[in-house]
């Protein structure tokens, strides 16, 4: 088979490829995050930052310092949507640093998942004060309660 294309010397190939060559669409989002630099299942360093943009294949974020390329990183990104409108969520991302220039880091995403965020009032395993029977304070100190503090009432009210 013969090639039927012609070459026009006026149309020179550019010195570099211009434009966005990414396969995944990037979404500009400013979200707080915490990062952990990981090497051989050990945390080498950690810090905070904020996302610049996200896609299904990667994340670009800002940090106070540059990070070494080629290492794995774990990101905990504060997600703006609450589960059932109540429980805060975060996007957990595991990836590899592919670029780090002037405090802007780009990672290729390896794995991601949404998780709920534990809040101080959201400890399912910890007993609450409501589960314990309330006894008057004076009854525990003196062995009897004053008339105003029977059945857990407050004497000052």
Sorted by where each begins, the domain ranges of the chain are 27-116
Q: Quote the pLDDT of residue 140.
A: 44
Q: Can you read off the two tokens belonging to residue 73?
A: 């990183």
Distance in angstroms (rounded) separating the CA atoms of residues 125 and 108: 36
27-116: what CATH class?
Answer: mainly beta
pLDDT tens per residue, range 82-135: 999 999 999 999 999 999 998 999 999 999 999 999 877 655 444 444 444 444
Question: Where does the chain have alpha helices with state H?
Answer: 137-142
pTM, whole model, 2 decimals? 0.62
Which distant-in-sequence residues (6+ apart) come within 8 Å of 39 by Cβ?
71, 72
CA quadruple 142, 148, 153, 155: dihedral positive or negative? negative
Give the three-class secondary structure for 51: strand
Distance in angstroms (rounded) separating the CA atoms of residues 7 and 140: 98
């Amino acid at each position: 088979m013969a090639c039927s294309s012609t070459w026009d010397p006026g149309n020179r190939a550019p010195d570099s490829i211009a434009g966005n060559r990414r396969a995944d669409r990037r979404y500009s989002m400013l979200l707080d995050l915490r990062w952990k630099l990981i090497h051989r299942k050990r945390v080498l360093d950690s810090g905070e930052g904020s996302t610049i943009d996200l896609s299904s294949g990667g994340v670009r974020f800002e940090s106070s310092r540059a990070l070494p390329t080629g290492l794995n990183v774990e990101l905990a990104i504060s997600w703006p949507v609450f589960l059932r409108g109540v429980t805060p969520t975060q996007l957990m991302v595991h990836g590899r640093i592919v670029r780090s220039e002037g405090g802007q880091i780009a990672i290729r995403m390896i794995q991601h998942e949404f998780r709920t965020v534990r809040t101080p009032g959201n400890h399912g395993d910890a007993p609450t004060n409501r589960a314990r029977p309330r006894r008057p304070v004076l009854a525990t100190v003196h062995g009897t309660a004053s008339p105003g503090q029977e059945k857990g009432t407050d004497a000052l009210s």
